[in-house]
Structure 1
Amino acid sequence: MNNYINFLDTYKYKIIVLITLFVALLSISLKDLAYEGSYKIWFDKESKIMKDYDNFRDTFSGDDSFIVAFKDEHGIFTKKAIDVILDLTSKLEMIDGVRRVNSLTNYQYISSEDDDIIVEDFIYESEELESKKTLALEDKLILHQLISEDAKTTMLAIRLSNETEADEEVNIFVMNQIQEILKPLELQTGYKFYLTGVPAITASLVTISQGDAMILMPLAVVIVVTFLFLIFRSVIGILVPSVVIILSFLTVVSIQILLGYKLNNFTVNIPSFVTAIAIADAMHLYLAWIYYKAKGLPNKEAVSIALKTNILPIALTSFTTAIGFASLGLSDIEPISTLGVAVTSGAIIAFLLSITIAPAILLTLGDGYKVKPIRFFNLLNTKGYGAFIVRNDKNIVLFFVVILGIIFYGLNFIKVDSNSIKYFDKDTVVRSGSEFIEKNLTGSMAYEIILDSKKRDGVKNPQFLNTIVKFENEFRAEFQNVRFTTSLKDIVVRMQKVLNPKAKDSIPKDQTLVAQYLLLYSMSLPQGMEINNQIDTTEQFLRLSINIDLVDTSKDLKMITWIKNWWQTNTPYSADVQGQTAIFAYMQSSVTDTLITSITVTLVIVAIVMFVIFKNLKMLWLFIFPNIAPILLVAGIMGYMKINIDLGVAISAAVILGIAVDDTIHFFSKYFDAIERMSFEETIDYIISHSGNAMILTTFILSFTFAIFGVSSFIPNVNFAIVTVSALNLALLLDLVLLPALLSLFYRKN
């Protein structure tokens, strides 16, 4: 170590310049920083879920539509409302990237005149609206899709062209264009327009991630610098930690960009995570340097002792933090995996910078440099604290056992659940739009069921079509949150009724007649409309769309399982459920796997490392308990409050374990250093005086850094902030109060 200190002292200026220059060169890649938010971010492109969904999109043109809705208290079938729909339909169709706008006015209404089938726009102009209203409320393909049951709310569906559906830039462009069209219309008409839909969700995810990048990271830096100034009141006190922080996150983000990664709503938090890790490393080294410098030691000796006494704890904390985040790299959810790997590298980089450029900067100071007394440093009165613990150890442990037992019981009520719309803050465009549509018109989510008739031209088979009717009836009876179902079967039924007014809503018994109906219908459609988004080219597969109310993913999975089982058990056919609602539902098992795997892997590896370092198997449980308990405590409280585990909470467990363990490592490293030459009471006093205040300060700063996520409009980030901040402070409390009490009982017994 002395040779290393001499090396740092000899080449301190070169080290500072070369490291800074290297990071500056890497940072040139920041000009290529980009964002993504489409469905593609959630899974690896080689995953079965993505392959199946992409196959669905290729076959049936996807499920991407912007939805615009509004309400007229006097009814939609008024001249004012219909003129707005006509005008809006025309303007929206002019936007680049828009393939088709489906609205009440251009709905292809099927009727007959003499022996001719007529398929035409439902409303050309705002006349004879009462008769149109009657027809609309009787038409299954209009009611609950284009108008509400009270005929006061309507919606327009804006379909994007196939080649641009998954393009985030196009989604954002189209969304901005739609909003530009709606703004003046709101002023002119007095209507409030609501916007949602899959492309709107994609655009919002990108916009939110960009906003978070512009706000969260600068805010984190400002908060950290402010606290450093309040604590240290010196330029060097701000400079050393800030250099480690800034160089760390610039390096990590630059490497991510060079590897071709884009930022999304999870990876946009990489800089904030790296900041939190870097500040913890730099703070312990800097506080130790101040401690020895204040004792009057020469500067080089103060740096040397600070580095010698802290390099092992910092290395261990960096390693355990890296393990916590690396465990996230095992997740099947791509953004979480990317986040885990990136922050793992950040933990390693922050450690390397903390033992190179940080001491190099300190070594540039002369022996005459005077350190200022640190504000808030003596937060704990260390004298007599060990004696207090020994006197009250049983009472302290009993108190915590009772409290922990009560809270742990809440774990019985916890469950993994979420839904995609509730990922957004209530004030965001897509969430308010979805909630308006669900309240006033129809369900805001949809399943796309791909039915396999098992043979070519099988979708025209009357038996197959009647099976769909039976399925729809039983599905509605089983699940009350189903709003409507629609497929090519409904066109066949409508054609049958138009050509045979006396016939009930039924399927023709002749397959040839079904084929003729579909041919007549498709030939009558205007340019830009077709039926190939309902059936595949072989006419073996048919698309059945089911519109449902917004439900949590656990209910989604229950419904999806029921659908697949029904078709497998009751028919010779089969069904697969696709669509982006289904993708989010399928992700739930990955969230659960992420939670379990990350905690298990982190806990096992950290326990092994601690045993290797401290070589004390009997005390291993004392090391593990204060770090796993905060996670269980927060989870128990969530159970009582009926807060579900979502993506943000799932990733927080490994993060909490990886970071909270830092305090325990510093605690035990000082414990084993002192217990051989001091009494137990003196050892506790020594731990608190040498690490306690640093533990409090770092937890304080980390809490504020992670609390910044609470201002995000992406709810998993908000939940992550709440859970992580709560758990880190609980971990600190357990380390400073319960752990010494447990150690006291253990020490007395052994």
Structure 2
Amino acid sequence: MILQHLCKSYKVKSLLILNNFWLILFKAIINRSKTLLVLCILFFIFCGYFAYKLPINADSDSLILENDKDFKTYQFINKTYATQDFLMLAFNPKSGDIFSEDSLQILQQITQELNTMPQVQSTLSILNAPLLKSSPKLDLQEALEINPTLLSPLVDKDLAKEEFLNHPFYSKNILSKDLKTAGIIVYLKKDTKLEELENLKKETKTSSKNALLKEYKQQAQIQTTHTINAIKALKNKYEGLYIGGIPLIASDMIAYVKSDLITYGSTLSVILALMLWVFFRQLRFVFLTLGICLFTLVVSSGIFSLFGYEITIISSNYISLLLIINVSLIIHLIVAYLEFYQKFPNASAKNLLYATMLAKKSPSFYAILTTIIGFLSLMFSNILPIIHLGAIMSIGVSLALIFTYILFGVILALLPKPKSIKSLPKWHEKLLNACANMGLEKTKIIYPITFLLVLFSLYGITHLKVENSFVNYFKDKSEIKQGLLLIDKQLGGTIPLEILITFPKKDFQNAPLSDFEAEFNALESEDSYWFDSQKLRIAKIIHTALEKEEFVGSILSLYSLSQLLQSLGLEANDFMFAFLYKNTSTSLKAQLFAPYANINKNQIRFVLRIFDSNPNLQRNAFLFNIQEKLNKLLEGESLKVEINGAMVLYNNLLQTLINSQINTLALVIFAIFGVFIFIFKSLKLSIIALLINLIPLGIIFGILGITNIPLDLMGVTIAAISLGIGVDDAIHYIHRFKEEIKRNPLKIAIKNSHQHIGSAMYYTTFIIVIGFCAMMSSNFIPTIYFGFLTTLVMLLMLLSSLILLPALLKSFHRSNLC
């Protein structure tokens, strides 16, 4: 009886042929349920072993565009200028006097403990920084030989304060201008083995070398984490100590990812169980849903691990996304199962399952297909973590569809048929009826409001901006943000920026030279005479120009050495630079010259730190303006100007991501529209289904634009993800509406669709909302924003489906609409 009813509703002759394969497949699932359950358990255990090994990577390089030309320059700088990873510590004593005996004693204890750590190579602070002007009893030559420091008995503290304040290398680096905060630069040991493996990977590019490099990176990451944890222990031990630096940001991101994965899993499980109980009031449906979700999650994670995918900050929300999509799929099946149960209470459990799986196979498949389209769009970003998110979610939701149908059929086939079912609560029915009536009767109010919201969206979208502030990635009360803010404001900024100036090489070979000219040119070609007046002049021009920039904090360059020489009463000209370069020790040369000049490449380098916490900083515009100003400043000099550093790389990442998402959003919309055309066989229904999802999405971006909330690395993925998930309800609703309209008048068809599919939409949306709300418990601000914005867009999409959709169906329905 139940299968006959189903066949009639699907046009018997064609449906029997089309559904023959699926009927055989579903019968095989239900009739061989015990065998399939055992196989599923074995597969679960196999995947669980690999899921446990799923790596987490928050390394800064994991968020870099591999094909970015600036990244290649960045690698060149790291190799050529022998840069080191470092942590920045700030000590702000409660007394406010950094030079008091107690403060210096504590600072000394801190540096002693730091220097005993295995991964720490050296430290630089006010305690061991050489002071050349603070010893009244020593002349300059004696000071250069002895290198007295603050702790030396020959040093006068008052003179030392003055020297620190005016020292071009120390001020705003290891001491704040107000003398209340001391910086400790902790240089980490260079990992030569990691460099060898990376070079080997570039040369061979084999999977075994990639696996070896990945494994070693994980080990190195663990060592760095141990070092950072040891430094954090010092923070707990010494009041007023704060920590910052790129390695710390990466380490804390990993900790947040791990914490979020645990939080999402546990929080969502509890919340889902409670909500499923509220909705269905039967434990079998609660445990069925949670069991299928757990199975899909473990199997997916195991497959991700087998394929070599890593979990990053961007993809850390895959658990929530996958659970939400999977639960939505299961709820639509449960609601359909209960609906058939109400209609055919005497049908067998197997027939109920056949009917449910047959009825929901098409809308479920197309809902998952549109979701996959949304995630696949992320793979056009050229950013590895975003590509991985698109890939793992596409794989994950595909597995969710397959195993949901298998386990739904297998488990319910093994369980006895429920003795009774709970009807939809009266207030739920009233709410759905009210939404349907509003959509049908209040079109004169709905359409003007919708039109105004569209205008609001368009206006807000034109004011959207994208930003990438590391300081604002963390909550205000978090230790890492407090440390980053203190360092940013008191010690010259947090985000590194570098400027390379390349000079044209001189050619002495073309013109005939006299013996004197040849001898002079030979002398000039020596390294010590490379520091000519032009290079020193250019260094001064650029350095002084950068000092005037609002967002630039610390600046170090060759001109810093010029300033140091001038403060010592020496003339900072090319002859003095040549003399110093020729006569200074190798270690001193490595500190004063090597970081800021590359003789072989004919380059000078400027090392800057930017005030990341400045709310007026617009990073893309700032970098563009710096480039323009430098080009204008050096016009006619025939010099090559390159701006690089972490700030440039992350800005490139964000700009590329937003551009790729804008470019691919049209493709996603077109692809989803094509799926709608194929499913509904109606141009009007397809346009309606698309509009009810695009309008809520536009409202969200309008709100962001008007409230001046910037899109970040996770925020720019909202469009594709929300559209992919949101259209599922439209597919289920219109699929049901097409069946209802065949045997009912328009208004009855809409109300029936609301009562049956509307309840499933209501359930799934609220579970999705709760799921994304769980993200708002994260310590990572981009995750919180992502959860909040996606929650808002899902609620708006629900309202759009329950109110705007019936209004549009009523207004544009014709006999040929379906």
Instruction: Give the alignment's TM-score, normalised by structure 1.
Output: 0.92
Is residue 2:186 matched to residue 1:161?
no
| Distance in 2 between residues matched to 1:260 and 1:237, nearest whole Å | 34
Q: Specify the code of the residue in structure 2 equivalent to 1:212.
A: D
1:142 to 156, 170, 174: 170
Letter in 1 for 2:419: K
Q: 1:114 to 1:449 in 2, by over 3 A?
A: closer
User: 1:530-545 alignment to 2 at 5 Å?
Assistant: 531-536=593-598, 538=600, 540-545=602-607
Which of 537, 547, 550 aligns to 2:609? It is 547
> In the alignment, which residue of structure 2 is the partner of 1:197?
245
Q: Does 1:175 align with 2:241?
A: no
Q: Which runs of 5+ in 1 are unaligned?
A: 187-191
Of 42-51 and 312-321, deviating more is 42-51
Match of 2:521 in 1: none
For residue 446 of structure 2, give the secondary structure of its aligned residue in structure 1: helix
1:356 corresponds to:
406
**Equivalent in the alignment of 1:7:** 28
Match of 2:419 in 1: 370
2:501 is matched with: 451
CA contact (8 A) 1:171 1:202 kept: no
Q: Pick one of 661, 683, 691 that aligns with 1:625.
A: 691
Q: Describe the shift of the 1:472–1:181 C-alpha distance in structure 2 as closer, same or farther (beyond 3 A).
A: same
C-alpha separation in 1, matches of 2:434 and 2:766: 24
Counterpart position of 2:60: 39
Q: Given residue 413 of structure 2, which amino acid in structure 1 is its aligned partner?
A: L
SS of the aligned residue for 1:379 comes to: helix
Within 2, Cα distance between the matches of 1:665 and 1:119? Answer: 80
1:260 and 2:282 matched: no
The superposition leaves residues 256-280 of structure 1 with CA deviations (integer Å, 9 ceiling, x where unpaired) of 1112233222222222211111111
Partner in structure 2 of residue 692 of structure 1: 758
CA distance in 1, matches of 2:436, 2:792: 26
Q: Deviations over 1:303-329 (max 9, x none)?
A: 111112111010011111111111112
Instruction: Tell me the residue number matched to 1:420.
Output: 470
> What amino acid is the match of 1:549?
F
* Kept in 1: contact 2:297–2:323 (CA 8 A): yes
Does 1:61 find its partner at 2:82?
Answer: yes
The residue identity in structure 2 corresponding to 1:711 is S
1:45: how far off?
4.1
CA RMSD of aligned residues (A): 2.6
Alignment partner for residue 94 of structure 1, among 116, 119, 122?
Answer: 116
Q: Secondary structure at the match of 1:147?
A: coil
Q: Which amino acid aligns with 1:432?
A: Q
Quickly say closer, same or farther: Cα 1:145–1:740, change in 2 above 3 A: same
- Offset of 1:459 from its aligned partner? 5.8
Offset of residue 243 of structure 1: 2.5
The one-letter code sitting in structure 2 at the alignment partner of 1:248 is T
The more displaced of 33-42 and 447-456 is: 447-456
What are the residue-to-residue correspondences of 1:584-595 with 2, within 5 Å?
A: 584-595=650-661
SS at match of 1:157: strand
Does the aligned pair in 1 maintain the 2:530–2:578 contact within 8 Å?
Answer: no
TM-score after normalising by structure 2: 0.85
Report the Cα distance in structure 1 between the residues aligned to 2:250 and 2:241, rounded to whole angstroms.
Answer: 19
Comparing 441-450 with 564-573, greater Cα deviation is found at: 564-573
> Structure 1, residues 86-108: CA drift from partner, whole Å, max 9, x if none?
33222212211112211112113
Check 1:539–1:46 CA distance in 2 against 1; reply closer, same or farther (3 A cut). Answer: closer
Q: Displacement of 1:249 after TM fit?
A: 1.2
Is the CA contact (8 Å cut-off) linking 2:467 and 2:654 kept in structure 1? yes
2:800 and 2:454 map into 1 onto residues whose CA distance is 11
CA contact (8 A) 2:539 2:557 kept: no
Q: Does 1:472 align with 2:521?
A: no
Pick the aligned partner of 1:208 from 246, 256, 260. Answer: 256
Paired position in structure 2 for 1:189: none
1:113 aligned residue (139, 143, 148): 139
- 2:354 counterpart of 1:304: yes
1:508 to 570, 573, 580: 573
Any conservation in 2 of the 1:564–1:574 contact (CA below 8 Å)?
no
SS of residue matched to 1:371: coil
Q: Does 1:707 align with 2:780?
A: no
The separation in 2 between residues aligned to 1:176 and 1:61, in whole angstroms, is: 26
Secondary structure of the structure 1 residue equivalent to 2:429: coil
Aligned to 2:676: 610
Q: 1:380 aligns with which of 429, 438, 443?
A: 429
Structure 2 letter corresponding to 1:144:
K
Match of 1:676 in 2: 742
Aligned partners of 1:386 and 1:683 also within 8 Å: no
8 A Cα contact 1:241 1:279, kept in partner: yes
- What one-letter code is carried by the residue in structure 1 that aligns with 2:349? N
- Judge which range, 555-564 or 315-324, deviates more: 555-564
Q: Report deviation, 1:537.
A: 6.5
Asked if the contact 2:536/2:558 (under 8 Å) is kept, the reply is no
Amino acid corresponding to residue 622 of structure 2 in structure 1: M
* 2:327 paired residue among 279, 299, 312: 279
* Paired residues, number: 735
Counterpart amino acid of 1:465? L
- Structure 2 letter corresponding to 1:102: L
Aligned counterpart for 1:51 among listed residues 52, 60, 72: 72
Deviation readout 1:473-531 (Å, 9 max, x if unpaired): 22333x22222311233224424653xx264xxx3043xx42221243444639x9675
Match in the other structure for 1:30: 51
Report if aligned partners of 2:181, 2:490 keep a CA contact under 8 Å in 1. Answer: yes
Q: Structure 1 residues 415 and 277 mapped into 2: Cα distance closer, same or farther (>3 Å)? A: same
> 1:524 and 1:655 mapped to 2: Cα distance?
54
Task: Decide whether aligned partners of structure 1 residues 141 and 390 sit closer, same or farther in structure 2, where only a CA change above 3 A counts.
Answer: closer
Task: Give ranges in structure 2 of 5+ residues lacking alignment.
Answer: 1-21, 195-216, 506-524
Tell me: CA distance 1:140–1:88, structure 2 relative to 1, closer, same or farther (3 Å).
same
Counterpart CA distance in 2 for 1:461 and 1:436 is 39
Segment drifting more, 280-289 vs 377-386: 377-386
Deviates more, 1:609-618 or 1:397-406: 397-406
- Say yes or no: does 1:434 pair with 2:465: no
Contact 1:447 1:581 in 2 (8 A): yes
Partner of 2:518: none
Q: Does 1:402 align with 2:430?
A: no
**2-structure distance, mates of 1:61, 1:682:** 75
Measured in 2, the distance between the counterparts of 1:384 and 1:153 equals 63
Name which of structure 1's ranges 465-474 and 66-75 shifts more when overlaid on structure 2. 66-75
The code of the aligned residue for 2:149 comes to: F
Aligned to 2:198: none
Q: Secondary structure at the match of 2:736?
A: helix
Q: Verify: 1:494 aligned to 2:564, yes or no.
A: yes
Aligned partners of 1:711, 1:114: CA distance in 2, in Å? Answer: 59
- Offset from partner CA, 1:85-142 (integer Å, 9 cap, x none): 3332222122111122111121133468365644724313476311211222232222
Secondary structure at 1:483's aligned position in 2?
strand
1:66, distance to aligned residue in structure 2 (A): 0.9
1:145-175 CA-to-partner distances (Å, cap 9, x unmatched) read: 2212221221111011121898422321221
Q: Could you tell me how far apart the structure 1 residues matched to 2:601 and 2:70 are? A: 24
Change (3 A) 1:243 1:480: same
Contact 1:656 1:728 (8 Å CA) reproduced: yes
Q: Taking structure 1 as reference, are residues 88 and 531 closer, same or farther at Cα in structure 2, changes over 3 Å only?
A: farther
Aligned-partner SS, 2:776: helix
- State the percentage of identical aligned residues: 22
Shift in Å, 1:460: 1.6
How do residues 562-573 of structure 1 correspond to structure 2 at under 5 angstroms? 562-569=625-632, 570=634, 571-573=637-639
